[in-house]
């Protein structure tokens, strides 16, 4: 009836008079049974919009698009580009029917969210009825950058780990991406610590070498597929040192009576050196001080009363690579300490006679230094003495020659603690004196014997003496060669003899004064 909610089934020709009017029935339109035909249409739907590339790409992202029915009229303008990128384009769309494929290119760095606009295609009708979007994709067209962190140098480790750090996530590198320098060095392992850090372990290097690593240009890819770095990247160099430091030498420094220096030199700079790095043995010996740095140190040993033994103990210090050395004790030859003061003796050398100037012989008990004329003094009754110091045996025996002494006694004295031996001991402990030596006055010629005359000189009558009368002998003492002449008339011979003696005395005094040599020191009481 149409008004009671009944279905539209056929077969009835009833029509309510109350509800209809002008009803007419017509037969023969169709013979046989009746037929019902139902027709309808629906908009096409997107059943898959997939990103076929990784979610991070360098310059190209690939997509697939599936509809639930055949559609047509799909073109690049049907898509919208959303996100932080710009400049994107879809050059071509491949496929047909219900399946299509296409690429997105030329995007800048950033994130892309691609969408299909509503009613952009035609199927049974226009569709889809709503926007369809794919998964987001990150565009990264920039090549990755890298740097190395280098182990501490110097190092004594068996292996060295270099860390390669990228400015963005990158793929695990192959060994061929690296070049290694260093004697016998090899890559032992490569491992990714995280997405931006790789650990490269280098081993088998020689004990002493310089090792470094290089990343070759365009040898790695980031997750977008960009190749990098744009140029070789080099690490710093690591000095390998697995050799323990050794002692190069031990020598003696300043040697004092109560202290001696040992100068210790190592093969390379070391640290950790102190009193416990050394050992000394011997009566009374002890280490009083240690000074120095790098490879050179000074060790002071004091109190030794005889011999001592000194050594650098094994493992005394560490080098910059933390190697501890020396590997074994390093001993110094036994050292004999001299704690005895030098002594001396003064003797008088034999003289030709008691009038000769004495010569003093000074003999020391050991080699000494610092002997000068100033450390001597003289005493006695002799006046005007001059002394000259001569070395007989170097630094051991000396002679002290005197001159210009007046008759009398003289004694030579060496002051206490006036010299030093090679060990620095001063001596002698007390002043050393020679025996007292006497210098006699030379015998003087007798003027009466110089002229042989009778008690009454001259002729009996007092006439002048001729040269042939009692002429003095010129070979007699007191008569100088200059007196060989004819006596003038009227000369009284005794008076002449007295005048000659005065001349002789003046000449002797001149000789004494002349013997005072320049630079000789006169030691007076």
Nearest Cα neighbor of 347 from 246, 432, 419 is: 432
For the stretch 294-337, pLDDT in tens is 999 999 988 887 777 899 999 999 999 999 999 999 998 766 66
What gap in Å lies between CA 432 and CA 389, rounded to an integer?
Answer: 16
Distances from the Cα of 280 to the Cαs of 284, 336, 395, 494, in angstroms? Answer: 10, 13, 32, 89
What gap in Å lies between CA 523 and CA 384, rounded to an integer?
Answer: 7
Residue-level pLDDT at 504? 61
Residue-level pLDDT at 522? 41
What gap in Å lies between CA 65 and CA 83, rounded to an integer?
Answer: 20
Interior CA angle at 293 toward 287 and 297, to 5°? 40
For the stretch 12-37, pLDDT in tens is 677 777 788 888 877 766 677 777 77
What gap in Å lies between CA 406 and CA 384, rounded to an integer?
Answer: 6
Residue-level pLDDT at 481? 40
At which residue do the structure tokens 């491949």 appear? 94
Residue-level pLDDT at 419? 92
Helix (H, G, I), strand (E, B) or coil at 481: helix
Q: Which two tokens stand for residue 169?
A: 């996530």
The pTM of the full predicted model, rounded to 2 decimals, is: 0.52
Residues of the chain with pLDDT under 50: 1, 452-497, 499-500, 511-512, 514-525
Residue-level pLDDT at 51? 95
Q: What are φ and ψ of residue 101, in 5° steps?
A: -140, 145
Q: How far apart are the first and last CA of the chain?
A: 174
């Amino acid at each position: 009836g149409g008004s009671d909610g009944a279905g539209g089934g056929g077969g009835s020709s009833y029509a309510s008079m109350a509800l209809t009017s002008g009803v007419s029935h017509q037969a023969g339109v169709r013979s046989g049974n009746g037929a019902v035909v139902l027709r309808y249409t629906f908009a096409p739907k997107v059943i898959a919009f997939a990103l076929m590339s990784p979610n991070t790409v360098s310059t190209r992202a690939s997509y697939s698009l599936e509809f639930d029915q055949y559609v047509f009229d799909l073109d690049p303008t049907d898509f919208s580009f959303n996100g932080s990128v710009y400049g994107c384009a879809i050059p071509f769309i491949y496929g047909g029917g219900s399946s299509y494929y296409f690429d997105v290119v030329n995007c800048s760095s950033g994130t892309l969210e691609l969408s299909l606009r509503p009613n952009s295609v035609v199927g049974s009708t226009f569709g889809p009825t709503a926007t369809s979007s794919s998964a987001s994709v990150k565009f990264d067209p920039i090549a990755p950058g890298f740097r190395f962190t280098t182990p501490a140098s110097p190092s004594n480790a068996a292996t060295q780990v270099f860390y390669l750090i990228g400015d963005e996530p990158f793929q695990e590198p192959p060994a061929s991406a690296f070049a290694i320098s260093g004697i016998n060095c090899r890559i032992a392992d490569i491992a990714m610590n995280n997405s931006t850090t790789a650990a490269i372990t280098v081993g088998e290097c020689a004990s002493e070498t310089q090792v470094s690593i290089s990343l070759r240009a365009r040898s790695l890819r980031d997750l977008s597929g960009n190749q990098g770095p744009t140029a070789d990247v080099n690490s710093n160099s690591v000095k390998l040192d697995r050799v323990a430091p050794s002692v190069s030498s031990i020598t003696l420094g300043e040697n004092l009576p109560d202290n001696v220096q040992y100068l210790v030199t190592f093969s390379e700079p070391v640290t950790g050196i102190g009193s416990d790095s050394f050992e000394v043995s011997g009566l009374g010996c002890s280490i009083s001080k240690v000074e120095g740095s790098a490879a050179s140190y000074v060790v002071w040993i004091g109190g030794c009363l005889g011999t001592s033994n000194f050594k650098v103990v094994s493992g005394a210090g560490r080098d910059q690579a933390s190697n501890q050395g020396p590997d074994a004790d390093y001993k110094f030859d036994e050292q004999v300490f001299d704690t005895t003061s030098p002594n001396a003796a003064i003797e008088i050398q034999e003289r030709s006679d008691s009038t000769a100037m004495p010569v003093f012989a000074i003999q020391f008990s050991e080699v000494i230094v610092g002997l000068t004329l100033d450390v001597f003094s003289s005493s006695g009754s002799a006046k005007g003495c001059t002394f000259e110091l001569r070395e007989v045996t170097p630094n051991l025996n000396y002679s002290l020659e005197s001159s210009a002494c007046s008759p009398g006694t003289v004694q030579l004295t060496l002051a206490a603690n006036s010299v030093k031996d090679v060990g620095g001991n001063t001596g002698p402990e007390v002043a050393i004196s020679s025996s007292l030596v006497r210098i006699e006055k030379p015998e003087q010629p007798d003027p009466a014997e110089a002229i042989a005359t009778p008690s009454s000189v001259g002729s009996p009558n007092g006439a002048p003496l001729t040269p042939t009368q009692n002429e003095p002998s010129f070979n007699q003492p007191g008569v100088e060669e200059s007196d060989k002449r004819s006596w003038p008339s009227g000369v009284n011979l005794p008076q002449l003899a007295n005048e000659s003696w005065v001349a002789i005395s003046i000449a002797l005094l001149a000789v004494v004064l002349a013997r005072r040599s320049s630079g000789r020191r006169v030691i007076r009481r």
